[in-house]
Structure 1
Amino acid sequence: MIRLRLDIAYDGTDFSGWATQPGLRTVQGEIEAALARLLRAPEGELRLTVGGRTDAGVHARGQVAHLDVSAEQFERWGASQRRGSGSGSQTGVDAAAGDDSVRLMARRLNGVLHRAASDIAIHSVAPAPAGFDARFSALRRRYEYRLRPENARRDPLTARFTAEVPRALDLGVMQRVSEDLLGLQDFTTFCKAREGATAVRELLAFEWRETEDGAYAARIEADAFCHSMVRALVGSVVAVGHGRLSSGELVELRDARERTSRFTVMPAHGLSLEEIGYPEDAELAARAEQTRARRDPLDD
């Protein structure tokens, strides 16, 4: 089998999230259906593994997935291949594949998608390096959350991607309290609990800026995120920004490691997955093995 890396973007407005769900329109479902048509494969044979599962309504500019195909399917897709001595890629396929072949693979998949899912764009398709796993090899994920406070001029052209907050917000206060949340922490307060899972994550960046159209945008980066964590973090900082919480109270809520109604989880449509970062090729397999190991809870 030949492993391919796909770089993907989508407008999440009309999707019920990334993951395939019976009877619902999802990003994974649309791409896998397009792949089945393109490669003449039985339904369900071609399965994508994604780097960051997004919820219903969440967008992406920098999504990454991998796909395993047979040599025959790879050839049918239109990419060139070269049987080698086994050095470099595990598959013996030329990992570079040639710029023209890579562009052709993305163009052909986009052509099929355009008819049923024009709100998805495939930026690139290329053979993955040995050891690559879109999910487990990742070092970090970066999201952006856009919101517009009540004193900002409304922009209908960005409304699908920007949450409206009907309150005045202090951007300086929001930046300071965001910095207090950085580091290796147990983020149970900001996550929907999943049995047997831990909410220990390392929050690497949480920065705010004012955009050219007057919105506020948060850049949030971590080694990984648990379910609803980004939108909950933003909601908690917004609560401080309009005075519902103090910065000290927010830190206390974080350290309590319990879900709370003291702040609101923000709407999905303001959120976009911007980038997934990976290590150098030689370190991909080791990173995947490290990530698969379950994190231990933090000591009190």
Structure 2
Amino acid sequence: MSDEVQPGYVRVRLDLSYDGTEFSGWAKQAGGRRTVQGEIEDALRTVTRSRETYELTVAGRTDAGVHARGQVAHVDLPEGVWREHHEKLLKRLAGRLDRDVRVWALREAPSGFNARFSAIWRRYAYRVTDNPGGVDPLLRNHVLWHDWPLDVDAMNEAARQLLGEHDFAAYCKKREGATTIRTLQELSLEKGADGIITATVRADAFCHNMVRSLIGALLFVGDGHRGPEWPGKVLAAGVRDSAVHVVRPHGLTLEEVGYPADELLAARNKEARNKRSLPSAGCC
């Protein structure tokens, strides 16, 4: 599939962050629900005084209630619009957007860049505390409270078994025609001095509900309901397990998106569009 920028247009990269508490996710929806994409596209149309809505493509669509600190998107703007407005666009967007969403950088993207398909990894953090007193009220929209003591060492032992390329069907909400094969590059947990346990999850891409399902399984290990081997057995079984809970979205933040060197963007863009399959086992 070609991803050439149309003649007369400029591809612009946006770096942005948002508090997902009051949003119905990233993607525009019917029925007038408030979404991050809808807010930014409306603001962009207003501040450039355009009649047309310029559609954003995002690195990772986040669900309702999920936050982002290092989200990346792109938009193709007419050359005239970009030339006229780009110097003041950042400040004008800051004046137009609500305080729970911010665009931090706007720049012309290098050749071959696609915010979604050029990415080589996405890194999320999920934050949870087992503090008997609950969550600091100032962090209540960003940290999950788990009311059982958690064994972080047992959770890390379980997490190591999930690393690598696998079919994560057991941890994904199935979507017709979409693959559930992913490469999980990092899954580790660390408890800070403040008592907050931060799970770092990095993969080439994620299927729907994957991070929140993985965390749900690890919490079951951490509080002693299952042994450290259980999440790996669920993965190998390849089917949804009713004991794997999709934890609440507010503990999840998209922290960063990684891209290759500029000269490799186009190749990655093409590669990422291919539907993946796992190598079949040899017969002998």
Aligned-partner Cα distance in 2 for 1:32–1:154: 34
For residue 48 of structure 1, the aligned residue among 42, 56, 73 is 56
Question: Which residue of structure 2 aligns with residue 109 of structure 1?
Answer: 93
Name which of structure 1's ranges 208-217 and 279-288 shifts more when overlaid on structure 2. Answer: 208-217
Q: Which residue of 1 aligns with 2:19?
A: 11
Task: Count the aligned residue pairs.
Answer: 272
Structure 2 residue runs without a partner (length 5+): 1-8
1:139-288 paired onto structure 2 within 5 Å: 139-151=120-132, 154-288=135-269
Partner of 2:45: 36
Q: 1:154 Cα shift? A: 3.0
Measured against aligned partners, the alpha-carbon deviations of 1:166-225 in whole angstroms (never above 9, x if no partner) come to 111101111111111100111000000011111110000011111342111100000000
Contact 1:155 1:213 in 2 (8 A): no
Shift of 1:251: 1.2
SS in 2 for 1:161: coil
Structure 2 residue 109 is matched with structure 1 residue 64 = no
User: Aligned equivalents of 1:142 and 1:180: distance in 2?
Assistant: 19
Contact 2:131-2:195 at 8 Å conserved across structures: no
CA distance in 2, matches of 1:263, 1:14: 26
Return the alpha-carbon distance in structure 2 between the equivalents of residues 205 and 143 of structure 1. Answer: 10
Instruction: Decide which of 91, 97, 118 is 1:137's aligned counterpart.
Output: 118
Could you tell me the TM-score, scaled by structure 2's length? 0.93
Instruction: Determine if contact 1:106/1:123 at 8 Å carries over to the other structure.
Output: yes
- Identity fraction in percent: 45
Instruction: For residue 148 of structure 2, give the secondary structure of its aligned residue in structure 1.
Output: coil
Task: Give the aligned residue type for 2:73.
Answer: A
State the alpha-carbon separation in 2 of the partners of residues 258 and 226 from structure 1: 14
Calculate the aligned-residue CA RMSD, in Å.
1.3
Moved more, 289-298 or 4-13: 289-298
For 1:294, which of 269, 275, 282 is the aligned residue? 275
Give the gaps of 5 or more residues in structure 1: 80-100
Distance 2:247 2:274 in 1: 31
Contact residue 212 and residue 248 of structure 2 kept, 8 A: yes
Q: Letter of the aligned partner of 2:252 in structure 1?
A: L
Does the aligned pair in 2 maintain the 1:51–1:138 contact within 8 Å?
yes
How far apart are the structure 1 equivalents of 2:10 and 2:260?
A: 20
Q: Could you tell me which amino acid in structure 2 is paired with residue 26 of structure 1?
A: T
* Counterpart residue identity of residue 172, structure 1: D
